[in-house]
Structures are given as C-alpha cells and as structure tokens.
Amino acid sequence: MKKIIVIGSCNTDMVIKVDHLPLPGETIIGHDFMTNQGGKGANQAVAVARLGGNTQFIARLGDDGFGCQSQQLLQQEGIETTYVTLTEGVATGVAMILVDEKGENSIIVASGANALLSVDDIKAAEADICQASIVLMQLETPVETLMYAARVAHEAGVTVVLNPAPFPKEPLPVEFLKNLDLITPNETEASMMSGVQVKNEATALQAIRAIQALGVKNVIITAGSAGAYTEKDGQLLRIPAFKTEVVDTTAAGDTFCGALCVALSEGRSIKDAICFANKAASISVTRMGAWRSIPQRAEIVE
C-alpha cells in the first residue's frame, strides 16, 4: 500500500470545559481540565492511521517532555516518524482550548517547534514524498515549507490535499494553489478564501467556483452538522452529515480530512469518500479531545 504522507503540526492540547466562551475582558470559572494530544497535522495523521492508511508524518517537535511523549505516541499509532524531528531548546507546540456546552470551541496555538518546519525538512523526505499516493497538509506550519512540498509532490504526480486551516491573514500564493489537487476549507475558510459569504447551498457553489478560479480544481467545503459541499458537472452536491450527540467538535475537520484521504487512496469517488469522511467525523464529535476522539476503522459502519 502506497503511503499517505501528512505534513504539519503536532501540539499538546490543554482543554477546559466552560458554560460559555468568555467575552473580551471576562474571567469565568470553568469545569474539567484535560491535557491530550492534538495539532492539526498530528490529528490528521492519527486519523489516517486509525482508519487504515499507511501513514508517514513530517513534523517538528521540541525536545521537551511533550515532544518526547508525542513522538512515542505517534509511533504507537503505527505512524512512520523518520521525519518527525526533535528540535533542541525549543518548546513543542501547545494549544489552549475552551469547549462550551454546545461543543463549540475556541483555540489559541503557541506554535513552538511547528514554526521551524523547514524546506530542508521536506528535502530530507523528498524521496518518500515522490512515492506517496497522497500528501495532506494544513496551515499550522510555515507556508513556504508547504509550498515547496506541494511543488515536489505535484511534479511527481502525487495527489496534494490542503486543509487551509487556520486560514492566514494574507491570501495563499497562486504558486501554492496551482500545485493542489484538492482543498478542504470549512465554511469560514471558504468565505475568507473566495470573498463569498458561505451560508447556504447557493453561496457554497459560488464560493467553490471562486476557489476553482484561483486554480484548485477540486473543492470540498465542510459545513459542520450540514455535512459537506462539493461541485460535480457544474452542480452543487451536498453530502449530509450523520445526526449525532455533539460533545466536542475539536478535530472534526481533521478527522474528516484524514478519512477523506484514506477513502480516496482506496480508489473511491469523491462523493463516496466524503460520505466515509462524514461518518468518521460524526463519531469524533461525540467524544472530548483531539486524538482521543478519532475513531478506529472498525467503528465505521458501511
């Protein structure tokens, strides 16, 4: 089985449950506190591995306790970590996460070692990248590094998927977008990227067309409990989500992306792959946390 290579961040998440997300200047007393593994890149790598993909992760960790623990736990998930590098004297990425009663979250990331993932790190892994089936990336590591990886992968005929989260202040360079095969923004990211406020099916189609005009052929907009939108033969296709009890949506988008890549690497159509991804993500929202919420393949009923 060819590899799915995930390039991205690895964080330790510090989570507090709250009744509501605090307003600016407001102090509130929260409920339970937990520390768990997260980071968009690592979440997506774990999703790929648990759902049956042959997974390799490219990332930078700090040489602190969090970094050493993360490296071990990634390996326990069966993820290939040759290019997960511990960086001397640097902190591992950390995310402070608040989760409210409706399962909505608010997240701040201190990037630490994630910000040091470099073009040289990608050059070291270039031979592996060129032989992968899919390269999956997000935006918690430097864009120049990802741009380089996307170019190398695209030139080798490898499918390149970008989950454009968190969306940067500056627009993504055209040079980057032209090397992507598929992009998976949520509604907010799709709105920021396209300039079209996504709030229903009509605006989702407009946004997809605007993003396609930027140079990415395949666009999937994830839409929370509404599922996901894509375009086929000029028409909007909505693949509905699975109804479930929401506890915490953290890593729903990451689970969706990991699952999507596994299904695509198995040769499924985009529509079937989205359906599989909706199933996996709908399980993740029923559980607290990032890695700890991501389902195993056996949990997906098909």
Neighbours of 119 (CB within 10 A): 15
The tokens describing 237, both together, are 């296709």
Report the alpha-carbon distance of residue 262 to residue 275 in Å, rounded: 12
Q: What is the per-residue burial (b if ≥16 Cβ within 10 Å, else e) of 180-197?
A: bbbbbbbbebbbbbbebe
Catalytic residue selected from 32, 63, 254, 272? 254
Alpha helices in 196-251 (DSSP H): 201-213
Residue nearest to ligand RIB (CB): 38
Which residues in 16-75 contact ligand RIB (CB under 6 A)?
A: 38-40, 43
Judged by DSSP in three states, 104 sits in: coil
Beta bridge partners of 15: 34, 97
Q: Which residues of 129-138 are buried (b: 16+ CB within 10 A; e: fewer)?
A: beebbbbbbb
| Three-class DSSP category at 144 | helix
* Closest approach of ligand RIB to the CB of residue 128, in Å: 24
Give the nearest distance from C-beta 258 to ligand ATP in angstroms. 11
Q: Exactly one of 4, 11, 49, 191 binds ligand RIB (CB under 6 A); which one?
A: 11
Nearer to ligand ATP, 58 or 198 (CB): 198
| CB 217, min distance to ligand RIB, A | 25
Binding of ligand RIB at residue 260 (CB under 6 A)?
no
From the list ligand RIB, ligand ATP, none, pick the one residue 11 interacts with, judged by a Cβ distance below 5 to 8 Å according to partner type: ligand RIB
Site for ligand RIB contains 13 (CB under 6 A): yes
Q: Buried b vs exposed e over 70-108: b needs ≥16 C-beta within 10 Å?
A: bbeebeebebbbebbbbbeebbbbbbebbbbeebebebe
Q: How far is the CB of 257 from ligand ATP (least distance, A)?
A: 8
How long a stretch of residues is the chain? Answer: 302
- Cβ closest to ligand ATP, residue 75 vs residue 244: 244
Q: How far is the CB of 111 from ligand RIB (least distance, A)?
A: 9
How far does Cα 184 stand from its chain's mean position?
Answer: 9
95 makes contact, choosing from ligand RIB, ligand ATP, none, with CB < 5 to 8 Å by partner type, with ligand RIB
Q: Is 13 a catalytic residue?
A: no
Q: What residues form DSSP beta bridges with 80? A: 56
Q: Looking up tokens 């997809």, which residue turns up? A: 208
Report the site for ligand RIB in 273-292 (rule: CB under 6 A): 290
Q: How far is the CB of 126 from ligand ATP (least distance, A)?
A: 29
Residues 82-141 that bind ligand RIB (CB under 6 A): 95, 107, 109, 140
> Binds 64, which of ligand RIB, ligand ATP, none (CB < 5 to 8 A, cut-off by type)?
none
Q: Which is nearer to ligand ATP, 134 or 223 (CB)?
A: 223
Residues catalogued as catalytic: 254
Residues in the site for ligand RIB, rule: CB under 6 A? 9, 11, 13, 38-40, 43, 95, 107, 109, 140, 250-251, 253-254, 290
